[in-house]
Amino acid sequence: MTSVHPVLEVRDLHVGFGPRKGGVPEVRAVDGVELTAERGQIIALAGESGCGKTTLARTLLGLAQPWRGQVLYHGTPLDYRNSALKAYRRKVQLVLQDPTGALNPRRTVYEAVAEGLRIHRVPGDERAKVAQALSLAGLRPAENFFGRYPHELSGGQRQRVVIAGALVLNPEVIVADEPVSSLDASVRGEILALLMSLRDELGLTVLVVTHDLGLAWNIADQLAVMYLGRIVEIGRTEQVLAAPKHPYTEALLSVLPETRHREPVILTGEAPDPRHIPDGCRFHPRCPALTDGRAQRAGVADRCVGEPLQMLPLHRAHAAACLLPGHVGDGIAGAAGGVPTGVTAS
């Protein structure tokens, strides 16, 4: 399908849990996200444990509904009626974070992979399709796995059954939540290579949630970094990894073994709580730039603590939601870059 619109687009997205007060849910898991995925793009999404990545992924699939903002597919807002969602989920596949939870313990590997074909009444040779998907996912010879139950598989084998279940429908988009986290480097490499070739040959679009920045380096065009419900930095993978702009990204990269020559910045302070999002910049209670005086010298320290920070807008080459000079929040970069519509203050 060709269209002038991005395949997937997320505008002003807010997703929460728990009772609402004045329309706002108690737990603000996703709290102002803008994102686009163009056809054939591979985007990696990283960020602190608990920052809202899985919630965002589930919302992209229509499994959770935003209380504010929307998800657009080829420019059209998601239709949450059952039949429309069903058609949508044939094109857009989700690979869940936890393969053990994702698989029904009473279904064989064959049934797990064939399920999508049956739900969507896909014509053709079911057995051949299941076998092909399994062997693409590295479970070869596929027939040996047909009759096995999830508990008879290793952790990585289970994860590959889930991946096969997504591949078997030839989706247009795969939203994958830590898809290869239980695989060794060589099997992981094989599956990532497969995703890249599907992208090159069929224009597959991939949004992959990952803690593994090496994975982003391996395959992603863009890398987005989330913190407490928001994307705080996004850009070309090389740029974000080589020259991070946001103090959170800087800290994250500083603990990688590859950067052991840099002083590791271990963040202190309370783990963030999506029920109580700090005023000002949401990272300020833990921001190293605020404690080491960088923010002070740049004359932004007061605003860091007191002034609501813009949500990071779309369509920027490399941007960070931070008031330090040269970043989006500083008012200069924002003006020069032609900030598109949909920018709101939190």
Partner 1 sequence: MTLLEIQDLHVDYRIAGGLLPAVRGVDLTVGKGQILGVAGESGCGKSTLAGAVLRLLPASTAVRGRISLHGEDVLGMSWGRLRAVRWSAASIVFQGAMSGLNPVHRIGDQIAEPILLHGTPAQRKAGRKALAGKVGELLESVGVPAWRAQSYPHELSGGQRQRVMIAMALACEPDLIIADEPTTALDVMVQAQVMALLKSLVTERGVGMMLISHDLSVLSHVCDRVAVMYAGRIVEEGPAGTLFTDACHPYAKALAGAFPVIGDMASRRAPRGLPGDPPYPLDLPGGCPFHPRCAVAIEQCATEDVRLRPAAPGRAAACVHVGVASESATALENLR
Q: Which residues contact 191 (CB under 8 A, 6 or more apart)?
A: 137, 138, 160, 163, 179, 180, 183
Strand partners, 258: none
* Cα–Cα distance measured from residue 269 to residue 248, given in angstroms and rounded to the nearest whole number: 13
Both structure tokens of 270? 């309370």
* Cα–Cα distance measured from residue 324 to residue 176, given in angstroms and rounded to the nearest whole number: 33
User: For residues 96-125, which are near ligand ATP according to CB under 6 A?
Assistant: 97
The pattern of x and - marking residues 204 through 243 that bind partner 1 according to CB under 8 A reads -------x-xxx-xxx------------------x--xx-
153 vs 323, beta carbon nearer Mg ion: 153
User: For residues 32-51, which are near partner 1 according to CB under 8 A?
Assistant: 46-50
Interaction between residue 29 and ligand ATP (CB under 6 A):
yes
Strand partners, 320: 233
Using CB under 6 A, which of 25, 99, 247, 313 touches ligand SF4?
A: 247
Handedness of CA 121, 62, 88, 95 (dihedral sign): negative
Interaction between residue 59 and partner 1 (CB under 8 A):
no
Buried b (16+ CB within 10 A) or exposed e, 180-208: bbbbeeebbeebbebbeebbeeeebbbbb
272 vs 313, beta carbon nearer partner 1: 272
Residue 219 touches which of ligand SF4, partner 1, ligand ATP, none (Cβ within 5-8 Å per kind): partner 1
The pattern of x and - marking residues 9 through 48 that bind Mg ion according to CB under 5 A reads ----------------------------------------
The pattern of x and - marking residues 21 through 50 that bind ligand SF4 according to CB under 6 A reads ------------------------------
Q: Helix or strand or coil: residue 315?
A: coil
The pattern of x and - marking residues 264 through 303 that bind partner 1 according to CB under 8 A reads x-xx--xx-x------------------------------
Residue 72 gets which letter from DSSP? E
Q: What are phi and psi of 192, to 5 degrees?
A: -65, -40
Distances (CA, A) of 230 to 46, 113, 124, 201, 234: 11, 34, 43, 32, 11
Pairing of strands 24-37, 8-21: antiparallel
* Cα–Cα distance measured from residue 134 to residue 150, given in angstroms and rounded to the nearest whole number: 14
Residue 29 touches which of ligand SF4, ligand ATP, Mg ion, none (Cβ within 5-8 Å per kind): ligand ATP
Q: Helix or strand or coil: residue 95?
A: strand
User: For residues 279-308, which are near ligand SF4 according to CB under 6 A?
Assistant: 281, 283-284, 287, 289-290, 295, 300, 304
Give the residues lining the site for ligand ATP (CB under 6 A): 17-18, 27, 29, 47, 49-55, 97, 151-157, 182, 274
Give the residues lining the site for partner 1 (CB under 8 A): 17, 27, 46-50, 53-54, 97-101, 138, 140-141, 144, 147-148, 151-158, 160, 177-178, 181-193, 196, 211, 213-215, 217-219, 238, 241-242, 251-252, 255-258, 264, 266-267, 270-271, 273
Give the residues lining the site for ligand SF4 (CB under 6 A): 246-247, 281, 283-284, 287, 289-290, 295, 300, 304, 322-324, 329
